[in-house]
Amino acid sequence: MVIGLIQQSNTANVEENKQKLARNITDCAAKGAELVVLQELHNSLYFCQTEDVGLFDLAETIPGPSTAFYGDLAKKHGVVLVTSLFEKRAAGLYHNTAVVFEKDGSMAGRYRKMHIPDDPGFYEKFYFTPGDLGFEPIQTSVGRLGVLVCWDQWYPEAARLMAMAGAELLIYPTAIGWDPRDDADEKNRQQQAWITIQRSHAVANGLPVVSVNRVGHEADPSNSSEGIQFWGNSFVCGPQGEVLAHTSSDREENLIVTANIQRSEDVRRIWPFFRDRRIENYAGITRRFLND
């Protein structure tokens, strides 16, 4: 499978961001991509740095204007397209939702982000209701896609359940970066942890992983912090965690990667983790903590 990853910086102008994405999708398709993956909340700036009720105006219904826009692009270029949208389900009910489009422009499925962070600069619980669609892969013409979103990438349970449901690869649209006040050692620790946990999901489940992050500095509208420096480093790794390709930390890039989806079969034969799971002893995993 030839996969295109679009790592770009954004402005406050939604239409400009969408047109830039359209050009980048065109570029990926021209280079042979069958599957194109966009970063988290790619239409706008990462608006969760502050809590502002006015920003709910960025949300759209699904279907809506953005699904029509990206569906047309998927059909025009004959690609499967993974997008990340701010969904308005009803007044006062919003989700962080990945929508996957088939090559004919139809919606193949959607996934609503399950794990919602609430940290300085990442006030997502103010905006998003946790997902309610479960961990279900989305069937497409290029395979069964285990689409998760950003904060989900830290949870082995999410990756495992997607794999157990038949996902052929895991996909993580992402928006993660540094607090500019952190020193170089702390920045490196955070970035390496982010890469390592996702490579671990590939190893533990015998599946390729695709992770697409945004890049560039975005100011804090409240001026209470120095904003976020998104660290890029989008990458694809194979089913043994081997990094097939990655981008820089500071540039906009369209990365084209060929991943051998069929190799998962060979890897799982030599590392049969699913065979050796002791499911009769795992009941405690559904509890919050065991030493209460």
What is the set of active-site residues? 40, 113, 150
- Tokens read off for 52: 């502002």
Spatial distance between the Cα atoms of 269 and 177, rounded to a whole number of angstroms: 37
Q: Which of 245, 203, 291, 185 is nearest to 31 (CA)?
A: 245
Spatial distance between the Cα atoms of 30 and 22, rounded to a whole number of angstroms: 12
Phi first, then psi: give them for residue 89, nearest 5 degrees. Answer: -85, -40
Helix axes 65-77, 14-30, angle to 10 degrees: 20
Spatial distance between the Cα atoms of 265 and 207, rounded to a whole number of angstroms: 9
Dihedral angle of Cα 189, 193, 196, 198, to the nearest 10 degrees: -150
Do you know the residue count of the chain?
A: 292
- The secondary structure of residue 111, as a DSSP letter, is E
